[in-house]
Amino acid sequence: MKIFVVASECVPFAKTGGLADVVGALPKALVARGHEVTVFLPRYRSTAPGPVVFPSLSIPIGRSLAFPDIQDGGTIEGVRYFFLDFPLYFDRAELYGGGNVDYPDNAERFTLFCRAALEFLKRTGAPDLIHCHDWQSALIAPLLKTVHGDDPQLGHVPVIFTLHNLAYQGLFPPAVVDRLMLPASLFSISGLEFYGRVNFMKGGLVFADFVTTVSPRYAQEIQTPEFGHGLDGVIRHRADSVAGILNGVDYTEWSPETDKHIAAHYSADNLDAKKACKKDLLQQFGLPAAGLRKPVLGIVSRFVTQKGFDLMEEVAEELMARDLLIVALGTGEARFEEMFRRLAAQYPKKVGVRVAYDEVLAHKIEAGSDLFLMPSRWEPCGLNQIYSLRYGTVPLVRATGGLDDTVEAFDPATGRGTGFKFSRYTGAAFMECLLQALAVFRRQPDAWRQLMKNGMAQDFSWGRSAAEYEALFQRLVKNARSG
């Protein structure tokens, strides 16, 4: 199959979160299965320019035209990459906004992106299937069903839409319909209208031929009011064409046996070398070497309420009363950035914080920590808990979404399980679970070592997930050709 992937971020070019990891890894896994995959991305400031293959496209944006270029991003492990180059919209310090505030022209930016993707296909030939990711590329589905509905070249191409986090929907005032010259019919309850606003994510959910999300549990959760963010009714209406396919991870990038960013390589058969990674981690954060004998709790995350940091805020003083260390890396809401900075200032020998995005340090935290904390309010899939399993860093998670799908609660009586889980979203439940984990760490070293090995034996590589996507793609392409 010829598969055309449209997304707003992808490693190694641009990243804010797990979306980039998935878009970087899944196409490679599909190429390995014999398919031809092209990935279409914006060219941000952080992405090096490439040769121009289509100069000065004419793309309507409002009542005028924009004239972006398409650049060739080359081929990596069999995947072809192309970039939309339009500096006015994409040559910026951040991808979607600054200071936790979205750019005010995001509707224009990503409408241009979607239209340019379709124009690119008009010039290169229709693929067998288009795979769109999250709200930034969601508009492709309604554009194909309306503006391109009678297009003999593209009108028949099936679209699969994958949502990575339903909380981020691309919401805009109704005036953008006229301002961007979108079909007026789209602003309706059966289209993009959402409580008086325009919802790009809803466009993907309504008009795509099939909808996937990134774990089986999350596919069920988003059909409930608690996790549906106002779109649960839309998703329930499409329940027969919604599925959860668990994200895989790229073990060529995330493995303690080969990781180029960590102080020492180790494996389940040679866990002693993990101590060198722990020592290096403490040095990176300026924490005392005496911490080698204490449990180190690692965090790599966006510092936002979704990730459960309000629970940590609730139990912060009780947490600091325990004989442990915390290392945290991330950026996010000012409230939680300040919380971590305050804890680091108050407990400089127990807490190390880096308010930043740092890929190298993320690897060091995965390798050097003993426990990895993910007490999320909700979590579509989560990748860090899967990385942690491979690194023998025991995950402590809330039983939600992909966290529940990937972490099995440890049972000291049988030695089964890969981590620790709690269900009630309260600080008390989080603390109770943490105390259970710390008790095993301190009092049952053999059980802890078995727990580490259990996690390292898990296989969440992309092979299985790619096979599920492949089967779905083949079914959609077959239906499109026969229909």
Q: What's the pLDDT score for residue 298?
A: 98
Q: Is the pLDDT of residue 45 over 90?
A: yes
**Half-sphere exposure for 439 (CA within 13 Å, toward CB):** 10
Convert the pLDDT of each residue in 18-35 to its tens digit.
899 999 999 999 999 999
> Among the residues of 100-224, which ranges form H helices?
106-124, 134-138, 140-145, 175-179, 200-207, 216-221
Q: Which of 259, 254, 378, 207 is nearest to 307 (CA)?
A: 378
Convert the pLDDT of each residue in 297-330 to its tens digit.
999 999 999 999 999 999 999 999 999 999 999 9
Q: Where are the domains of the chain?
A: 2-248+462-482, 271-456
The SS3 assignment for 387 reads: helix
Q: What residues contact residue 314 under an 8 Å CB cut-off, 6+ apart?
A: 426, 427
Q: Using alpha carbons only, what angle is made at residue 150 by residues 169 and 8, rounded to the nearest 5 degrees?
A: 30
Higher-pLDDT residue of 357 and 426 is 426
| Percent of residues, the chain, with pLDDT higher than 70 | 100
Segment 459-480 shows an average pLDDT of 95
pTM of structure:
0.91
Q: 386 and 460 in contact (C-beta within 8 Å)? A: yes
| Percent of residues, the chain, with pLDDT higher than 90 | 94
CA dist 147 and 59 (Å) reads 14
CA dist 426 and 315 (Å) reads 10
Segment 117-122 shows an average pLDDT of 97
Identify the CATH number of the domain defined by range 271-456.
3.40.50.2000
Give 74's strand partners: 81
Identify the CATH number of the domain defined by range 2-248+462-482.
3.40.50.2000
**Half-sphere exposure for 319 (CA within 13 Å, toward CB):** 27
Q: Is the pLDDT of residue 344 over 70?
A: yes
CA dist 202 and 205 (Å) reads 5
The SS3 assignment for 64 reads: strand
Q: Is the peptide bond before 12 cis (omega within 30 degrees of 0)?
A: yes
Length of the chain: 483
Convert the pLDDT of each residue in 254-294 to its tens digit.
999 999 999 999 999 999 999 999 999 999 999 999 889 99
Mean per-residue pLDDT over the chain, rounded: 96
- Under the banding of pLDDT at 50, 70 and 90, the label for residue 483 is low
DSSP 457: T
Are 2-248+462-482 and 271-456 in the same CATH fold? yes
- Under the banding of pLDDT at 50, 70 and 90, the label for residue 205 is very high
Q: Is the pLDDT of residue 100 over 80?
A: no
Segment 73-87 shows an average pLDDT of 97
The DSSP bridge pattern shows strands 371-374 and 351-355 to be unpaired
Q: What residues contact residue 356 under an 8 Å CB cut-off, 6+ apart?
A: 329, 330, 331
